[in-house]
Structure 1
Amino acid sequence: MDFEQADALNQAIRLLSLRHRARAAALLVPLGLHPGQEALLLELARTGPMIQAQLSEALGCEPPSVTLMTRKLEAAGHIRRAPAPTDRRASIVELTDSGKTLVDQIKQLWRALAQETVAGLPAQTVAELPGILKTLAANVDSRGGPVR
């Protein structure tokens, strides 16, 4: 791949990431959420209660970030934390009724954001995008070391 093509690809990915995150943040403001908190709530809705360390791994976040998010979401009444029965140092995190209601609102916003993002693309391209994007993410993840 020549530099111009590489630059165009890298710039497009960077701009999409920045703009998507900014649009998501704007959509989350009326719900009283910050970026990342919606992912935590959606993960709990998908999996049910889980230990905070597992939640950190599932979200791909550092444990201190998840701790901060869970404290804020707990203070807002959307989740509850309790000591794990097998390890008192670990916390089990679960959605409250308020959190479950909020998840329904997040899902509506996520559908709207996805539709905005892919507007104008053919249905087949839209259907292929999740797989393509997962492959791109896996390619970046697997490379970890310095660029050669």
Structure 2
Amino acid sequence: MPLPPSVAAGPVSHAIFRVARLHRMLAGQLLRRVGLHTSQELVMMQLWDRGPQRQTDLVRLLGSDAATMTRTIRRLENAGFVRRRSSPSDKRVTIIEPTVASMALRREVERVWLDLESSVADELTPEERAEALKVLGRIEDSLARATAQQD
């Protein structure tokens, strides 16, 4: 399908937009099956892999903003997957930790990510996967530099 004339100046950017939109849509569909919204699993993955974290560290690790992270944590807490507590060394700091109940969710999220990865890459050869990761890494680096220059 030909590109609309209005996006002809940015065919790579348009392709990234289309792929990202479809990826997020599929991830959302798969995550709904386990009771999560997109990005909530990323918070849980950080907590499962790194242990309890300061909320500000989760914001930094995931490239989020404080308000979005607060809403995400509140929803995860209401679902019983995380618990907030004050830091013993600094009462102004909130520590977020995964609950025991979240451990069953971990297996489900890992299954979702396997399904998502399968949908994304099963039709690629190992060489194409390696090349895709290499190109995406270069694009990410380029975007990170451009973003830093805007600050």
Q: TM-score higher than 0.5 here?
A: yes
Q: Give the secondary structure class of the aligned counterpart of 1:94.
A: strand
Alpha-carbon distance in structure 2 between the residues aligned to 1:135 and 1:37: 26
1:71 Cα shift?
0.8
Offset of 1:129 from its aligned partner?
2.9
Equivalent in the alignment of 1:142: 145
- Choose which of 95, 111, 116 in structure 1 pairs with 2:114: 111
- Write out aligned runs for 1:44-55 (5 A): 44-55=47-58
1:111 is matched by which residue type in structure 2? L
Aligned positions, number: 144
3-state SS in 2 of match to 1:120:
coil
Aligned to 2:98: 95
1:82 Cα deviation after fit: 0.4
- Please state how far the C-alpha of 1:23 moved relative to its aligned partner: 0.4
- Does the alignment pair 1:68 with 2:97? no
CA distance in 1, matches of 2:83, 2:134: 34
| 2:17 paired residue number | 14
What secondary structure is seen at the aligned counterpart in 2 of 1:82?
Answer: strand
TM-score (norm 2): 0.87
SS in structure 2 at match of 1:31: coil
Q: Percent identity?
A: 29
Distance 1:119 1:92 in 2: 38
Cα distance change of structure 1 residues 119 and 101 upon mapping to structure 2, 3 Å threshold: same
Structure 1: gaps of 5 or more residues = none
* Cα displacement (A) at 1:130: 2.9
Q: Structure 1: how far apart are the matches of 2:21 and 2:31? A: 15
CA distance in 1, matches of 2:9, 2:103: 43
Q: Alpha-carbon deviation of 1:88? A: 0.8
